């Protein structure tokens, strides 16, 4: 019987194993600052200003359309407030609240 060494993420890199939920060093703003995506209320619209996610999570967010200037629509919260459902570019995405907190938005 052969044993194979597991190499990081399975499939196309979609596992949670390599995801970073912390912001990049040196990119945090001092104090409370602007609103993040996790702070939006239901049916509120906003425009993305920047994302402080890096690594695999940062790449995933860009691929899903979370780029500066894109308009987002907070659709709903789950019953225990995590995850949240966001409308962006004619489709809906469900994000964890910790991931949404890394996206800085400006309310419209």
Domain ranges of the chain: 34-107
Please state, in angstroms and as integers, the Cα–Cα distance from residue 46 to each residue in 18, 35, 79, following that order: 29, 10, 22
**Residue among 104, 22, 93, 8 at smallest CA distance from 57:** 22
The residue-averaged pLDDT of 1-17 equals: 40
Residue 107 has a pLDDT of 87
Residue 82 has a pLDDT of 86
Strands ordered across the beta sheet of 103-107: 35-36, 103-107, 45-51, 71-77, 84-88, 91-95
pLDDT above 60 (res 31) = no
User: Structure pTM?
Assistant: 0.66
The residue-averaged pLDDT of 11-18 equals: 42
Contact 48, 70 (CB under 8 A): yes
Is the N-terminal amide bond of 83 cis, ω within 30° of 0?
A: yes
Instruction: Give CATH for domain 34-107.
Output: 2.30.30.90
Residue 108 has a pLDDT of 65
Residue 11 has a pLDDT of 35
């Amino acid at each position: 019987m052969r044993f194979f060494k597991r190499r990081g993420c399975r499939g196309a890199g979609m596992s949670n194993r390599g995801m970073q939920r912390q912001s990049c060093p040196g990119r945090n703003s001092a104090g409370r600052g602007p609103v993040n995506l996790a702070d939006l209320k239901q049916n509120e619209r906003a425009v993305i200003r920047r994302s402080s996610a890096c690594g695999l999570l940062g790449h995933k967010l860009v691929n899903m359309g979370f780029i500066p200037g894109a308009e987002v629509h907070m659709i709903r919260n789950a019953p225990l407030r995590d995850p949240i459902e966001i409308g962006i570019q004619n489709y809906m995405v469900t994000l964890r609240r910790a991931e949404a907190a890394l996206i800085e938005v400006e309310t419209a």
